[in-house]
Structure 1
């Protein structure tokens, strides 16, 4: 079958990355977690004192963008690439609730989006790629052969995120996670630059009642259909 570009967009904690990894491994495609890229920039901003609970020094962050190097290094034990920020593996650090609390604000910055979108488009030039994020089907790859838009109820997504953080040993309340999910939804859908929205030609999947296997089977059917008809 012909290799295609698969763009997966959707709300936070809908399992976009999990699905994208499954597809990439099954198809032998490259997987790119764009959310990890924005999280890495967020971590950089936090570590350098550019953002906090009551302040955001956008100008300093924008001026520092040339000094931010992002790379994915493939981990054969995990089966996917881990995020490296300026040569350091930050895969664990970028998944905290603290980073989640600031990442949507970082993603609103047009200069940040321009830098990362350019990198993402370069990664996908050769097709055979699965990329997930917020604007993949609308901005990064508007001509992608297959676009998926994932959604689920806020409560369902918060519970999934809470369970994930608990498994990692992070001390956080369900109420805090739900608040973060709702706030991120609002910021992501209302920002001026590349807001989260469903592409007109995307297939919407509400996975509130689907397990991972059911979801994977449903999307794989779409992949096979698109690959065969091109």
Structure 2
């Protein structure tokens, strides 16, 4: 079977990572969560004092980038790749609402995108790969053989994210989560460097009212058809 690159882009809380992991597992492909990489940089910036009350010290952040090392380590219990930031497992920390509030602004900084896109492209060399994010099909892998773009209403996405955070034990309000989703949509779509947009050749999936298995079946069927033609 041929090995191809599968790019999954879309708005926050559309289930990109969950679907990408399942698709990679079904195909026995490598999965890379690029959103986790941007969250890791955001966490590092927060810990270093480069972000205060939502304001980013860009000079300090750019200097910090030189010492940021991100990798993925298999979690034997979950079967997924946990994020390792400078030798520490930060999988739980990067999923907090506080990181979510800052990640889109950090991801809009060209120096951050340049560093992580280079790493992402290196990860994909010669592999059967599934990668999800905001600009995978447009910037990181514009020649990917398969591209998907996921979307859903802000309210549906906020409800999903709210439930996830409550299940984690976080003390959050639905109104705050909805505002975060809407703010991230605007920042992701309007940033100057690599804005979130659907690639011309991407398959769009609105999963506002679609279950996980239905989405996975549709994506897997389409991908297998493409692989057979390689």
TM range (shorter): over 0.9
RMSD of aligned Cα (Å): 0.7
CA gap of 1:67–1:191, structure 2 versus 1, over 3 A, is same
C-alpha separation between the residues in 1 aligned to 2:227 and 2:19? 18
Residues 58-73 of structure 1: matches in 2 within 5 Å? 58-73=58-73
Q: CA deviation at 1:127?
A: 2.8
Partner of 2:107: 107
C-alpha separation between the residues in 2 aligned to 1:54 and 1:22? 34
Give the total of aligned pairs.
230
Partner of 2:193: 193
C-alpha separation between the residues in 1 aligned to 2:78 and 2:30? 14
TM-score (norm 2): 0.99
C-alpha separation between the residues in 1 aligned to 2:42 and 2:93? 11
Asked whether the 8 Å contact 2:51–2:57 carries over to 1, the reply is: yes
SS at match of 1:204: strand
Q: CA deviation at 1:54?
A: 4.6
Alignment gaps of 5+ in structure 2: none
SS at match of 1:194: coil
The structure 1 segments of at least 4 consecutive aligned residues displaced by more than 6 Å after TM superposition are none
**Is the counterpart of residue 184 in structure 1 residue 184 in structure 2?**
yes
C-alpha separation between the residues in 2 aligned to 1:22 and 1:72? 17
Partner of 1:20: 20
TM-score (norm 1): 0.99
Asked whether the 8 Å contact 1:25–1:79 carries over to 2, the reply is: no
C-alpha separation between the residues in 2 aligned to 1:194 and 1:41? 17
For residues 72-102 of structure 1, the C-alpha deviation after alignment (integer angstroms, 9 at most, x for no partner) is: 1111221121101100000000000000000
Asked whether the 8 Å contact 1:14–1:151 carries over to 2, the reply is: yes
C-alpha separation between the residues in 2 aligned to 1:214 and 1:142? 26
